């Protein structure tokens, strides 16, 4: 059986849905970060698949930039998370709603 | 034939790993499952002939990002079970399906249109790494430089944010010094 572009797109969509479920049900910010990584990876698969089946390298280039963005997001996000954890001793989303001017 | 077997095997493994990541209540299990899923995803890149992308995926995600998470988790209390959000299940499931459906529509739109042409066609007789280099350092040179600057900014931000008070050794301090520091922190925060 031949594996076509649609197989990869469906797989990418399933992974994206899993990541979305993670974003919606997680309360812990670290777990939310994990779910974000899943989202980015799901999109990367479809980029690479389209790049392969259309014989075009643009998809792979975008995947590279997505990886670069994910790496810098993790660096800054974890730094902020550590600062927050030092101050408040937890990283739950619900405790972050009290913003005072 | 082998391509189909590999695809279905790695699709199953990836979905299982990411499912564990999303559902488990242990942060360490989630981290390990996520790392495994990243490696399985690189298998798809190798199947698709994007060798360089697959190698970058393994190095950056499984190497750098996962190591960063692992070190970051040392700061947090990861032994405690993760509490879940108690939201309306129907709304959550509905929104997820809607968003996933939107993604399908967006991604399959060019296939339905069927008029997509290769912008930068693959060069005959060149390896994947060579092709990537050709396109990346000519057509995408400016985004490449911008990405480099962005990574530098992220690195400096990470050092500045996480590196506060790194010159103090909490294990070598006496108890009274630690108490003093806590009191000062409280005053600053209030």
Do the chains contact at B68 and A18, CB–CB below 8 Å?
Answer: no
> B5 and B75 share a domain?
yes
With respect to residue B86, please indicate whether it lies within any of the assigned structural domains: no
Question: Which of A1, A28, A70 lies closest to B65 in CB terms?
Answer: A70
B80, B100, B122: which is the final residue of a domain? B80
Q: What is the domain extent for residue B19?
A: 1-80
Do the chains contact at A28 and B83, CB–CB below 8 Å?
Answer: yes
The pair of structure tokens assigned to B47 is 């199947």
With respect to residue B67, please indicate whether it lies within any of the assigned structural domains: yes
Cα-Cα-Cα-Cα torsion A20, A21, A24, A25, nearest 10 degrees, comes to -150
DSSP B97-137: HHHHHHHHHHHHHHHHHT----SSBPPTT--HHHHHHHHHT
With respect to residue B170, please indicate whether it lies within any of the assigned structural domains: yes
**Residues written for chain B:** 190
A-facing residues of B in 65-124 (CB < 8 A) are 65, 68-69, 72-73, 75-76, 82-85, 87, 92, 95-97, 99-100, 103-104, 107-108, 110-111, 116, 118-122
Write the CATH number of the domain with boundaries A5-92. 1.10.287.3510
Q: How many CB atoms lie within 10 A of CB B166?
A: 8
Q: What is the pLDDT of residues B8-63, one digit of tens each?
A: 999 999 999 999 999 888 888 889 999 999 999 999 999 988 889 999 999 998 88
Tell me, yes or no, if A95 comes closer than 8 A to chain B by beta carbon.
no
Domain ranges across chain A: 5-92
Share the mean pLDDT of chain B.
Answer: 81
Q: Is A19:A44 a contact under the CB 8 Å cutoff? A: no
Domain total of chain B: 2
Q: What is the pLDDT of residues B101-159, one digit of tens each?
A: 877 777 677 666 566 666 666 666 677 788 888 888 888 899 999 999 999 999 998 88
Of A6-10, A19-23, B85-89, the poorest mean pLDDT is in B85-89
With respect to residue B106, please indicate whether it lies within any of the assigned structural domains: no
> B75 and B5 share a domain?
yes
DSSP B23-60: H-S-HHHHHHHHHHHHHHHHHHHHHTT-HHHHHHIIII
User: Measuring CA to CA, which residue among B97, B22, B21 is closest to residue A25?
Assistant: B22
Do the chains contact at A93 and B84, CB–CB below 8 Å?
Answer: no
Tell me, yes or no, if A40 comes closer than 8 A to chain B by beta carbon.
no
User: What was the ipTM of the complex prediction?
Assistant: 0.89
Q: What percent of chain B lies above the pLDDT cut of 70?
A: 77
pTM of the model: 0.82
CATH number at residue B64: 1.20.120.1200
Q: How many CB atoms lie within 10 A of CB B76?
A: 19
Rounded Cα gap, residues B36 and B30, in angstroms: 10
């Amino acid at each position: 059986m031949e594996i076509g572009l649609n197989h990869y797109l469906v797989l990418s969509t399933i992974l994206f849905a899993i990541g979305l479920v993670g974003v919606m049900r997680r309360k812990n910010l670290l777990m939310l970060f994990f779910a974000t990584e899943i989202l980015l990876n799901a999109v990367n698969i479809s980029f690479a698949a389209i790049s392969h089946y259309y014989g075009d390298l643009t998809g792979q280039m975008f995947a590279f930039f997505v990886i670069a963005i994910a790496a810098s997001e993790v660096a800054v996000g974890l730094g902020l998370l550590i600062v927050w954890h030092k101050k408040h001793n937890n990283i739950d989303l619900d405790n972050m709603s009290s913003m005072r001017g | 034939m082998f391509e189909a077997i590999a695809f279905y095997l790695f699709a199953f493994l990836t979905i299982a790993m990411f499912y564990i990541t999303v559902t488990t209540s242990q942060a360490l299990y989630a981290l390990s499952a996520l790392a495994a899923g990243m490696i399985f995803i690189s298998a798809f890149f190798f199947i698709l002939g994007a060798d360089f992308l697959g190698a970058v995926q393994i190095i950056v995600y499984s190497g750098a990002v996962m190591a960063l998470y692992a070190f970051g988790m040392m700061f947090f209390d990861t032994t405690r079970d993760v509490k879940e959000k108690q939201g309306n299940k129907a709304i959550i499931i509905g929104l997820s399906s809607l968003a996933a459906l939107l993604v399908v529509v967006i991604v399959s739109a060019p296939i339905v249109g069927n008029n997509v042409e290769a912008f930068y066609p693959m060069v005959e007789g060149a390896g994947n790494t060579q092709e990537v280099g050709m396109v990346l350092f000519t057509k995408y040179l400016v985004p490449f430089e911008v990405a480099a600057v962005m990574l530098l900014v992220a690195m400096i931000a990470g050092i500045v944010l996480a590196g506060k008070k790194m010159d103090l050794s909490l294990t070598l301090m006496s108890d009274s010094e630690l108490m003093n520091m806590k009191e000062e922190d409280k005053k600053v925060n209030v």
